[in-house]
Structure formats: C-alpha cells, structure tokens
C-alpha cells in the first residue's frame, strides 16, 4: 500500500478546509497558534513511517494525553479503576458538571475532563512523582527523550482552569478525589501541556495498534484484554460528543485534543496522527476529522 501517495492526496484535498474551524482560545497559550499548520503522520506496526506537512513541529497534545495517563493507571489498578470511573459516553460537554451531580461524583468515562482528573488522583496513589513518571512513559513509547512539558501552556491551563478546579472540588465532595485538589490538578494541567510532533505521537500509539506491546522494544505495556478495552473506550468516547460520528465516518479508535491533534489507529496495522489547530463546535480538528475519514476510505480499511 502506497501510504505516502494517500497522504499527499489527502493533504492537498483537505488543506483549504482549515478556514471552517476556530483555534481554541479559552486557553490563551493556544490562541496564538498559526491556524494554517497541518501535519500528518502514519507509522505501521513494522515501524515504517510516512509524513507530510508540519509533521515534525511540536504541538500541545492536550486531551490526547488522557490515553497515556489512563494506560498507566489501568496497568497498575486493573478493573478496580471502574469503581471510580465509568465506561459510557457522556452525552454532555467534556467539561460538564451536570452529570456529576446525578451520578454521585463518578465521571462517565476517563476521557472527559472529570475522568482524567480522577485518573490523575489515582496516579498519586501509584507513583511518588507522577509528573516524572508520565514524561518517562511517553518518552519510552515514542522512543524520544526530547519530549517535554511546555511550562507556558501548563501555567495558562492553571490560571484559566476554573471549570476543572470546580470539577475536582465537586468530585472531592463526593469522596472521589483523595488527594489535595491543587496537587491533582498540577498533574492534569501538565499532562495536557505535553508537546509532541505528529511523528512522535503516532509512534507512541503503536502499542495500542500492536495489541498492547510496544513494537520498538517488545515491552508489554498492557495485556491484550486491557488493550482491547482501552481501544473500545477510544472508539466510543475518544472524540467527546462526536465519538459516534467519528466511528461512523472514520471507523478507527481515536482520541482528540483541543490543540488540534487527533490520534487514531487500525489494530494490527498502523497508528496515525493528524494535526490542524482549527476546531469545530465539538472541540475536534475540522481538517483532522476529514483527513482521517478520507484515509480509511482511500485505504479501504478500518476496524469495520
């Protein structure tokens, strides 16, 4: 399969569509991103890599990081994690407080903000320094020690993270946050501020495409059962309220972030990342969504 030819076709067909979206501006550090940035990376299980556009320019991965933090927590806590986090689509905005009132402080899934904040709380139970462990883990998956937190983005997240602060305090009132709220949110804000290129990110997602095993070093990150369940969560909840539409049109487990990235995969074949900052009304990259739909259409492969 000529992946490079497919990427070139998609890139030039979809590039003008960035004008249909708007760069996230509720986090000021993201508001200044050039909206015309656009990169695509595909990495296959045998680690053959294909790139086009701005594939080697770092960007803030934001909520895509929730896959990595959840992997760490799930690896160590197993099914006990479901005592504190659900597995269902939320049906509300990714930063909504409404359901927490009705459901006694238990977030619907680990990929909405409330769920990821609970995951950060769990990581404090597991690791003496979750921030250091998170960075070590992401660097291991990507095979790149240069990956880092962007302190400006982390600070901007902290200053303007009033809704996340409310979510954390609300869940603590129900007993679902065990540690100091500020300490928990420091982890959450920093994980959202990880900077990676689409090339690094596509490589980092290979363990999920490879049944839980990192193909770079043969290390089993998750057992096959947990890898399966994580991919199911990505398919059903990974793009917030647009997850069903993404499954219908694209047919890949995926995770988006308001930095404009979408990471997705086809099991036993490849992982793929598209980065284009302008977002639609659901908080997902306009161009990224379209590019991924065309990719599975032109490739003739998806999880279905």
Q: In the predicted model, what is the mean pLDDT of residues 204-228?
A: 97
Count of structural domains, the chain: 1
Query: Is residue 134 assigned to a domain?
Result: yes
For residues 196 and 138, give the distance between their C-alpha atoms in angstroms, rounded to a whole number. Answer: 10
Contact 190, 149 (CB under 8 A): yes
User: Model confidence over 268-286: pLDDT tens digits?
Assistant: 999 999 999 999 999 999 9
Query: Looking at residue 100, what is its pLDDT?
Result: 87
Contact 15, 52 (CB under 8 A): no
Q: Where are the beta strands (DSSP E) in 82-208?
A: 148-149, 194-196
Q: Which are the contacts of 31, defined by CB distance < 8 A and separation ≥ 6?
A: 23, 24, 25
User: Model confidence over 118-167: pLDDT tens digits?
Assistant: 999 999 999 999 999 999 999 999 999 999 999 999 999 999 889 999 99
Confidence of residue 99 (pLDDT cuts 50, 70, 90): confident
pTM value surpassing 0.85:
yes
Query: Is residue 73 assigned to a domain?
Result: yes
Catalytic residue IDs: 63, 66, 188, 240, 258
Q: Which are the contacts of 195, defined by CB distance < 8 A and separation ≥ 6?
A: 58, 59, 60, 61, 147, 148, 149, 150, 153
Query: Is residue 203 assigned to a domain?
Result: yes
Q: Is the dihedral of CA 250, 255, 258, 262 positive or negative?
A: negative
Q: Which are the contacts of 190, defined by CB distance < 8 A and separation ≥ 6?
A: 131, 134, 149, 154
For residues 65 and 260, give the distance between their C-alpha atoms in angstroms, rounded to a whole number. Answer: 13
Q: Which domain holds residue 178?
A: 3-299
User: Model confidence over 33-67: pLDDT tens digits?
Assistant: 999 999 999 999 999 999 999 999 999 999 999 99
Query: Is residue 29 assigned to a domain?
Result: yes
CATH number at residue 153: 3.40.710.10
Contact 178, 118 (CB under 8 A): no
- Mean residue pLDDT across the chain: 96
- How far from each other are the two terminal CA atoms of the chain, in whole angstroms? 19
Query: Looking at residue 89, what is its pLDDT?
Result: 87
Query: Is residue 47 assigned to a domain?
Result: yes
Query: Is residue 304 assigned to a domain?
Result: no
For residues 272 and 295, give the distance between their C-alpha atoms in angstroms, rounded to a whole number. Answer: 10
The helices-and-strands tally (H runs, E runs) of the chain is 14, 8
For residues 236 and 243, give the distance between their C-alpha atoms in angstroms, rounded to a whole number. Answer: 6
Percentage above 90 pLDDT, the chain: 92
Query: Is residue 12 assigned to a domain?
Result: yes
More confident residue, 207 or 240: 207
DSSP conformational letter for 179? S
């Amino acid at each position: 399969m000529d992946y490079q030819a497919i990427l070139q076709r998609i890139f030039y067909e979809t590039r003008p569509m960035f004008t249909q979206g708007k760069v996230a501006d509720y986090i000021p550090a993201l508001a200044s991103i050039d909206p015309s940035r656009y990169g695509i990376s595909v990495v296959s299980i045998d680690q053959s890599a294909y790139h086009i556009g701005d594939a080697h320019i770092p960007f803030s991965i934001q909520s895509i990081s929730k896959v990595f933090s959840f992997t760490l927590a799930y690896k160590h806590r197993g099914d006990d994690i479901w005592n504190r986090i659900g597995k269902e689509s939320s049906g509300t905005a990714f930063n909504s407080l409404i359901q927490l009132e009705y459901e006694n402080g238990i977030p619907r899934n680990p990929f909405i903000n409330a769920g990821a904040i609970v995951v950060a709380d769990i990581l404090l139970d597991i690791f003496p320094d979750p921030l250091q462990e998170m960075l070590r883990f992401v660097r291991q998956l990507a095979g790149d020690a240069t990956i880092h937190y962007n302190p400006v983005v982390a600070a901007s997240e902290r200053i303007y993270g009033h809704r996340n602060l409310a979510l954390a305090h609300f869940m603590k009132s129900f007993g679902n946050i065990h540690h100091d709220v500020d300490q928990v949110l420091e982890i959450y804000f920093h994980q959202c501020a990880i900077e990676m290129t689409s090339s690094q990110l596509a490589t980092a997602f290979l363990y999920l495409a490879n049944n839980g095993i990192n193909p770079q070093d043969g290390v089993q990150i998750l057992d096959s059962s947990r890898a399966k369940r994580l991919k199911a969560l990505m398919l059903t909840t990974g793009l917030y309220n647009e997850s069903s539409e993404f499954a219908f049109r694209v047919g890949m487990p995926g995770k988006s972030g308001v930095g404009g990235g979408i990471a997705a995969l086809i099991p036993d074949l490849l992982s793929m990342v598209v980065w284009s900052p302008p977002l639609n009304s659901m908080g997902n990259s306009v161009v990224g969504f379209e590019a991924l739909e065309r990719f599975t259409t032109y490739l003739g492969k998806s999880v279905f």
